[in-house]
Structure 1
Amino acid sequence: MPLLNTDHKTPNIRPVKAFRHFRKLIADKEDTAEVFHIIEALAGKAFIRNAKRFLKSPHAQELMERNVDLPTMLDDHNKLRQLPADSLGQAYVRFMEKEGLTAAGLVAEFDRYGSDYQKRNDVTEWFGDRMRDTHDLLHVLTGYGRDALGEQCVLGFTYGQNPNLGILFIAYAGALEMKKQSPSNAPVLRAVREGQKLGKAAKRLAYYDIEKILAMPIDEARAFLNIGQPVYYKQAHVAYEAKGIDPYNLLGQPA
């Protein structure tokens, strides 16, 4: 079972480094490693605060003792297809295969970034990995797509669940970049703020048994986690489409 190691020195917050990597991310939005650089540059004590909060949750010890390898479990699509048709697991498989994504692929992006990352080998790192590995599952649960705004809203939701200044910076800086590149009356900032509020109001996904939640009907899983509807996100899509703007191609990504 991973332990909490408080001997590691807390890194300083480095806004210049974060902004530099944000510009690189805007230039190539598919370079996910830049996201990890930004989060690390602005994290400060956030990782250890979030880990301590997790340790106080009812299922923390059980989850750490079981230590399920989430990427392996989430990428076993054949097994997930054996779940009921209306399950979260089935919806997750459809989403990942449609988008051409794998949980292992996100781990590989993190490993590419992690060449200069100081490993902690404790519950802080273990819980951080757990949040990383459930990112795409949050897309399915919240209804936020992989369009530019959907990604910013998921980050807002993630910040609401487990605060980290780096995540919040990307969410709002990305939203402002969208408004700059595709001016419209779409409620972009309100959508991100709504995502943040929805995440805070919901139960923290990473605190629960992911296998059990995957087996639930998707509506039941959303109700169990108290995940509300993304009203402003949907309004933003309507506003973009009314102006002839493809919300899936705001920052030059494939539709």
Structure 2
Amino acid sequence: MTGALQADLPIYDERRPELRLRPAKAWRHFQNLLKDKENTEEVFHIFESLPWRNLRSSAERFLRTERGQALRAREPWLPAILDDHEALRRMPEGSLAHAYCDFMEREGLSAQGLVDEFEKFASKHEKFDDQFTWYLNRMRDVHDLLHVLTGYGRDALGEACVLAFTYSQQPSPAHLFIGYMAGLNIRKQTRGTAPVLKAVREGQKLGKACPRLCEQAITELLPLPIDEVRRKLNITPPGHYRKAHAIWQDIGVDPYDLLGKNAKLAA
């Protein structure tokens, strides 16, 4: 690293505890998540129980590059950028920025909202002041951008597919565990011909072609036409996911209420 990029914080605080695989704990929290799909804290517990083994080395590799340090200086806190809809709306029509605002406003979401959910979980843990924290935050804060870029909605199958897509970028076993277990649960509840598991598998495959989004300059992508961003990132349309939605809609099932009051209609 050059003199201009001397670290103001250690890249990794060696006091951090080493996470280990705890599948029984992950299963327990997944069962809780099925009972309350809006309880985001359960998701964080699952990720803690099924950690990405090479996360530290991957983060350090990026943070030791000039590009990594430049991005950290330029985008120190992504939620502030993503939640400034007034600034994002000044970007061109048809841009990723406008598509992101449309999605977040339609769904009643904010980037800070996800941070707040995480803080409920993190408040029970020791905090560490290192550059690794910035990288962890980025991994979390691009989640809704991935929804926008991939075309996966916030329906049960869409969330499962986004997690499978993300696994190919950030290979925590938790992504696949939640993604495929959710897929199996959807298939069990609906008992139809929709290609649920094919959609999840396709999400995993599509994610392999896309560079790691948390390592991209988001401020450079936001003003671009969304189709151009998708081309730059090699993101292609999710065929099986769209087919599943079409099948459910044809038989009068709301894809956004598969496991709610309309689930019985899919039998």
Normalising by structure 2, report the TM-score: 0.89
Residue 154 of structure 2 is aligned to residue 157 of structure 1: no
Q: CA RMSD in A?
A: 1.8
Looking at structure 1, the residues matched to 91 and 75 of structure 2 have their Cα atoms a distance apart, in angstroms, of 22
Answer yes or no: is the 8 Å Cα contact 2:52–2:171 preserved in 1. no
Looking at structure 2, the residues matched to 18 and 213 of structure 1 have their Cα atoms a distance apart, in angstroms, of 35
Answer yes or no: is the 8 Å Cα contact 1:148–1:250 preserved in 2. yes
The one-character-per-residue Cα deviations of 1:86-131 (angstroms, maximum 9, x if unpaired) are 1000110010000000000000000011122343332332211101
Q: Which moved more, 1:51-60 or 1:110-119?
A: 51-60
Residue aligning to 2:50: 42
Residue aligning to 1:26: 34
Residue 254 of structure 2 is aligned to residue 246 of structure 1: yes
Answer yes or no: is the 8 Å Cα contact 1:57–1:207 preserved in 2. no
Residue aligning to 1:191: 199
Aligned AA for 2:132? T
Residue aligning to 2:152: 144
Residue 81 of structure 2 is aligned to residue 73 of structure 1: yes
Looking at structure 2, the residues matched to 69 and 171 of structure 1 have their Cα atoms a distance apart, in angstroms, of 28
Q: Which moved more, 1:43-52 or 1:157-166?
A: 43-52
The one-character-per-residue Cα deviations of 1:34-79 (angstroms, maximum 9, x if unpaired) are 1111011110534314313433666212112334311111000011
Residue 137 of structure 2 is aligned to residue 134 of structure 1: no
Looking at structure 2, the residues matched to 185 and 79 of structure 1 have their Cα atoms a distance apart, in angstroms, of 44
Evaluate the alpha carbon distance shift between residue 167 and residue 49 of structure 1 in structure 2; reply closer, same or farther with a 3 A threshold. farther
Equivalenced residue count is 254
Evaluate the alpha carbon distance shift between residue 154 and residue 253 of structure 1 in structure 2; reply closer, same or farther with a 3 A threshold. farther
Alpha-carbon distance, 1:160 to partner: 0.8
Residue aligning to 2:102: 94
The one-character-per-residue Cα deviations of 1:142-195 (angstroms, maximum 9, x if unpaired) are 000111100011111111111101121111111111111111111111111111
Answer yes or no: is the 8 Å Cα contact 1:15–1:41 preserved in 2. yes
Percentage identity across paired residues of the two chains:
51
Alignment of 1:172-187 (within 5 A): 172-187=180-195
Looking at structure 2, the residues matched to 17 and 156 of structure 1 have their Cα atoms a distance apart, in angstroms, of 21
Decide which of 61, 71, 90 is 2:69's aligned counterpart. Answer: 61
Answer yes or no: is the 8 Å Cα contact 1:87–1:215 preserved in 2. yes
Residue aligning to 2:20: 12
4+ runs deviating over 6 angstroms: none
Answer yes or no: is the 8 Å Cα contact 2:76–2:134 preserved in 1. no
The alignment partner of 2:80 has SS state of helix
Looking at structure 1, the residues matched to 137 and 128 of structure 2 have their Cα atoms a distance apart, in angstroms, of 12
Normalising by structure 1, report the TM-score: 0.93
Aligned AA for 2:157? L
Residue aligning to 2:129: 121
Residue aligning to 1:214: 222
Whose Rg is larger?
Answer: 2
Q: Which moved more, 1:43-52 or 1:120-129?
A: 43-52
Looking at structure 1, the residues matched to 26 and 39 of structure 2 have their Cα atoms a distance apart, in angstroms, of 14
The one-character-per-residue Cα deviations of 1:11-48 (angstroms, maximum 9, x if unpaired) are 22111111111111111101111111101111053431
Looking at structure 2, the residues matched to 197 and 58 of structure 1 have their Cα atoms a distance apart, in angstroms, of 30
